[in-house]
Amino acid sequence: MRNFITHEWFTIFTMLGLLSIVAAKFLNTLRFDDFLSVIGNSKYLKIYSKDQKFVDPFEAFLFINLAVSASIFLFFGYSIFFETLTFEIIPFLKLLFAVATIIIIKTLLERLIGSLFDVDSLVDSYLFQKTTFKNYSGIVFLVANLLLLYTKNDAEIVIIASFSIVCLINLIGFITSFKNYQKTINPNFFYFLLYLCALEIAPYVLLYKVVSEYNA
């Protein structure tokens, strides 16, 4: 694993993610504690979805960690299971930019759709739930990256286990959202499927293409 990793750079980026989480906790300790217990507990979603802002500093710090940690994890995962990537700072920054941009544009498009169909409050609440679980996944990515960088654990096991946990977290988030908005989704199930294909699946296909062309 360490044969293709430049530890200094990844340490810097990992520290950036860690500092972002610390900043979020410092900004609102009570909210952060509620955030950590969001799995299996709807308290966080019920309380904080009512007080949303277009740019929320708390979520912004968690997003920074998500973008950075997910980019590092993607680098590791692709290198382990597909082909070894040679770390270079400019291509990695492009990968980081792509990850952050895809997440932001996807969110903005969903907000735009909400405005076009005059369901802003519904979409905002849904996006808050989805963003919460994605940010939670960012913490899992961070822990996984620390294990990959600074322990002798089997890299494949760490990546598979972490990816499985992230999938489970987001599945819980999806089921939670589906239950909350089932009455709205059922009469419009066809459009819901179109939404899944266009805004949930397609971005990940695009992200895979970005990673696969990392050293191109």
- List the domain boundaries for the chain: 2-212
What is residue 216's three-state secondary structure? Answer: coil
Dihedral angle of Cα 51, 54, 57, 58, to the nearest 10 degrees: 50
CA–CA separation, 145 and 72 (whole Å): 7
Element (H, E) at 79: helix 57-81
Mean pLDDT of 36-41: 84
- Flag whether pLDDT at 124 surpasses 80: no
132 pLDDT exceeds 60? yes
pLDDT at 127 over 70: yes
For residue 152, the number of C-alpha atoms closer than 13 Å in the C-beta half-sphere is 0
Number of Cβ atoms within 10 Å of the Cβ of 31:
17
Assign 50 a pLDDT band (cuts: 50, 70, 90): confident
Spatial CB neighbours of 8, under 8 Å, sequence gap ≥ 6: none
The angle formed by the CA atoms of residues 88, 9 and 156, to the nearest 5 degrees, is 85
Among candidate residues 162, 160, 114, 161, the one with its CA nearest the CA of residue 138: 162
* pLDDT value, residue 144: 96
> How many secondary structure helices (H) and strands (E) does the chain include?
10, 0
Among 107, 111, 105, 97, CA closest to 132: 107
Q: How far apart are CA 127 and CA 122, in angstroms?
A: 9
Average pLDDT, the chain: 81
Q: Model pTM? A: 0.84
How do residues 63-113 score in pLDDT, each as one tens digit? Answer: 999 999 999 999 999 888 888 777 888 889 989 998 999 888 888 877 777
In which residue are the tokens 């089997």 written? 154
pLDDT value, residue 67: 96
- What does the alpha-carbon distance between residue 77 and residue 142 come to, in Å, rounded to a whole number? 13
Whole-angstrom Cα distance, residue 130 to residue 177? 8
Residues 6+ apart with CB under 8 A from 151: none
76/39 Cα distance (integer angstroms): 26
- 51-65, 122-136, 183-197, 200-214: lowest mean pLDDT where? 183-197
* Residue 215 DSSP code: T
> What is the reported pLDDT for 142?
96
